[in-house]
């Protein structure tokens, strides 16, 4: 039986994961957050002081990433440890950006991503899903928002937590990550030619979810 594959790409902080998760729940699909895989490797790199690409490549055979779906919710396992709650810090985010630029890292995760897509109806989000991972996806969406809006959302999310960075620091991190993602040699962030552009700068969360869910339903009709 043919599976349904939806690809959602876009820059850091555009809300891809939370929006994809909500849309997947409404449609009864599995949500696959590929960014979480890179974050897990970034966490491993930080924990093991692997600061250079060569060091990461040497460690890849030891880095076992697994996605478990519990009630349709993705949990990220790193070497049999559930690290889902440890991979969302700005520090891990920057580490993920660095390791994702390493071709061997992307190849290491590509087979796992394709396998999940071949076995399930999924909404998969990331940076190169529509261009590299699922080039024949049933629907491709490029979800974006201005850097300022993405920084504001992130600040509101973190401001009650201890050690919250300033809005200006978050904005600089987002701009740096955008630059890293768009200018890396391997699978740079870009909108696929056949992707639908959704700019959520002036849209609320539920409005974006409804819009994307409607796009998917139109595709399936």
Contact (CB, 8 A) for 133 and 114: yes
Residue closest to 99 by CA, chosen among 39, 173, 178: 39
Contact (CB, 8 A) for 16 and 35: yes
User: C-alpha distances in angstroms, 39 versus 4, 77, 100, 168, 203?
Assistant: 26, 11, 9, 23, 27
pTM: 0.84
DSSP state of 196: E
pLDDT in tens, the chain (221 residues): 689 999 999 998 999 999 999 999 999 998 999 989 999 999 999 999 998 999 999 999 999 998 888 877 789 999 999 999 999 888 998 899 889 889 999 998 998 899 999 999 999 999 999 999 999 999 999 999 999 999 999 999 888 888 889 999 999 999 999 999 999 888 899 999 999 999 999 999 999 999 999 999 999 98
What CATH topology corresponds to 5-220?
Rossmann fold (3.40.50)
Q: Give the C-alpha separation, 94 to 180, whole Å.
A: 9
């Amino acid at each position: 039986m043919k599976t349904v594959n939806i690809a959602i790409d876009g820059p850091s902080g555009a809300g891809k994961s939370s929006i994809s998760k909500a849309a997947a729940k409404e449609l009864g699909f599995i949500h696959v957050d590929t960014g979480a895989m890179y974050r897990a490797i970034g966490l491993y790199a930080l924990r093991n002081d692997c600061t250079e690409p060569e060091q990461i490549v040497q460690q890849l055979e030891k880095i076992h990433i697994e996605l478990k779906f519990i009630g349709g919710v993705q949990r990220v396992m790193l070497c049999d440890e559930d690290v889902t709650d440890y991979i969302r810090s700005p520090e891990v985010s920057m580490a993920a950006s660095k390791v994702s630029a390493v071709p061997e890292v992307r190849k290491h995760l590509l087979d796992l991503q394709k396998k999940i897509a071949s076995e399930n109806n999924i909404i998969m989000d990331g940076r190169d899903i529509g261009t590299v991972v699922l080039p024949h996806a049933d629907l491709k969406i490029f979800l974006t928002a201005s850097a300022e809006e993405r920084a504001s959302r992130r600040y509101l999310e973190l401001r009650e937590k201890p050690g919250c960075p300033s809005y200006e620091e978050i904005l600089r991190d987002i701009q740096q990550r955008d630059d890293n993602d768009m200018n890396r040699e391997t699978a740079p962030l870009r909108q696929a030619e056949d992707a639908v552009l959704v700019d959520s700068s002036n849209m609320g969360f539920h409005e974006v979810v409804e819009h994307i869910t409607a796009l998917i339903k139109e595709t399936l009709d």
